[in-house]
Amino acid sequence: MFVDEARIEVQAGRGGDGAVSLRHEKFVPRGGPDGGDGGRGGNVIAVADSHLRTLLDVARRTHLRGQNGVRGGRNHRRGKRGADVEIRLPIGTIIADAEDGRIIADLTQHTQAVRLARGGRGGRGNARFATATRHTPRFAEKGEPGETRSLRLELKLLADVGVIGLPNVGKSSLIARVSAARPKIADYPFTTLVPNLGVVRLGEDASFVLADLPGLIEGAHRGAGRGHDFLRHAERTRLLVHMLDVSLPDRDPKEDFIALNRELALYSEDLAHRPQLVALNKIDLHPPPDLLSDIESFLAEQGRQSFRISAVTGRGVAALMGRCAQFLDEIPAAAAPQASAEPTPQPPRKAPLRVADLGEGSYQVSGEAVERVVLMTDLENEEALRYLHRQLERMGVIRRLRQLGAKDGDRVRIGAVELDFVE
* Mean pLDDT to the nearest integer, 8-36: 88
Asked if 306 and 365 sit in the same domain, the reply is no
Q: Give the residue-averaged pLDDT of 312-341.
A: 76
**What DSSP state is assigned to residue 132?**
S
- Nearest-angstrom CA–CA distance, 91 and 105: 11
Cα gap 162→157, rounded to integer Å: 10
What pLDDT is stored for residue 390 in this prediction?
93
Q: What is the pLDDT of residue 101?
A: 87
**Residue 345 maps to a domain:** no
| Contact of 395 with 369, CB cutoff 8 Å | yes
**pLDDT digits 0-9 by tens, 221-278:** 444 444 445 667 777 788 999 999 999 888 899 999 998 888 888 878 888 888 999 9
What value does the mean pLDDT take over residues 84-92? 91
Q: Are residues 362 and 294 in the same domain?
A: no
Lowest mean pLDDT among 68-82, 147-161, 176-190: 176-190
Task: List CB contacts of 355: < 8 A, sequence separation 6 or more.
Answer: 363, 364, 365, 397, 400, 401, 404
Q: Is 355 helix (H, G, I), strand (E, B) or coil?
A: strand
Mean pLDDT for 58-71 is 91
- Inside any domain, residue 349: no
Q: What is the pLDDT of residue 376?
A: 95
| One domain, residues 133 and 109 | yes
The CATH number of the domain holding residue 263 is: 3.40.50.300
* Residue 356 banded pLDDT, cuts 50, 70, 90: very high
Domain boundary among 139, 155, 171: 155
| Of 1-5, 28-32, 139-143, minimum mean pLDDT range | 1-5
On whether both 83 and 148 belong to a single domain, the answer is yes
Instruction: Say if strands 148-155 and 5-11 run parallel, antiparallel, or are unpaired.
Output: antiparallel
Is pLDDT at 66 greater than 90 in this prediction?
yes
367 and 254: one domain?
no
Percent of the chain past pLDDT 90, that is, above it, reads 56
3-state class of 253 per DSSP?
helix
Residue 347 maps to a domain: no
Looking at residue 3, its amino acid is: V
Burial profile 280-293: b = 16 or more Cβ within 10 angstroms, e = fewer: bbbbeeebeeebbe
Kindly indicate the confidence band of residue 324, based on its pLDDT and cuts at 50, 70 and 90.
very high
CA distances to 90, 135, 225, 230, 238 from 181, in Å: 17, 71, 24, 18, 20
| pLDDT digits 0-9 by tens, 100-127 | 889 999 998 899 999 999 999 999 999 9
Residue 344 lies in a domain: no
Please give the pLDDT value at position 230.
61
Residues 77 and 212 in one domain: no
Separation CA 400–CA 286 (nearest Å): 86
- pLDDT at site 350: 59
Burial class (CB in 10 A: 0-12, 13-18, 19+), 99: exposed
Range of the domain at 59: 5-155
Amino acid type, 103: I
Q: Is residue 29 part of a domain?
A: yes
If asked whether residues 38 and 147 sit together in one domain, one would say: yes
Domains: count for the chain:
3
Domain boundary among 155, 178, 197: 155
Nearest to 46 by CA among 106, 7, 12, 88: 88
Instruction: Between 330 and 7, name the one with better pLDDT.
Output: 7
Q: What is the pLDDT of residue 217?
A: 56
197 - beta bridge partners?
211
Q: Which of 147-161, 339-353, 355-369 has the lowest mean pLDDT?
A: 339-353
Residues 313 and 364 in one domain: no
Query: What's the helix, strand, coil split of the chain in %, to 5?
Result: 25, 25, 50
pLDDT of residue 349: 53
**102 and 87 co-located in one domain:** yes
> Is the confidence at residue 346, as pLDDT, over 60?
no
Predicted local confidence at residue 224, as pLDDT:
43
**Under a CB-based contact definition with an 8 Å cutoff, are residues 423 and 408 in contact?**
yes
Whether the per-residue pLDDT at 156 is higher than 90: the answer is no
Is the same domain home to 151 and 222? no
The average pLDDT across 81-88 equals 95
Mean pLDDT of the chain: 85
**Mean pLDDT computed over 67-91:** 94
- The pLDDT of residue 340: 41
Q: Which residues lie below 8 Å from residue 179, measured CB to CB, with a gap of 6+? A: 198, 199, 200, 210
Q: Are residues 255 and 289 in the same domain?
A: yes
Give residue 183's pLDDT.
59
More confident residue, 340 or 4: 4
CATH code where residue 39 lies: 2.70.210.12
Q: What's residue 339's pLDDT?
A: 39
Angle at 371 between CA 367 and CA 375, to 5 degrees: 170
Report residue 207's pLDDT band, with 50, 70 and 90 as the boundaries: confident
Ranges of beta strands (E only) in 144-290 are: 148-155, 161-164, 196-202, 206-212, 239-245, 276-281
Mean pLDDT of 185-201: 64
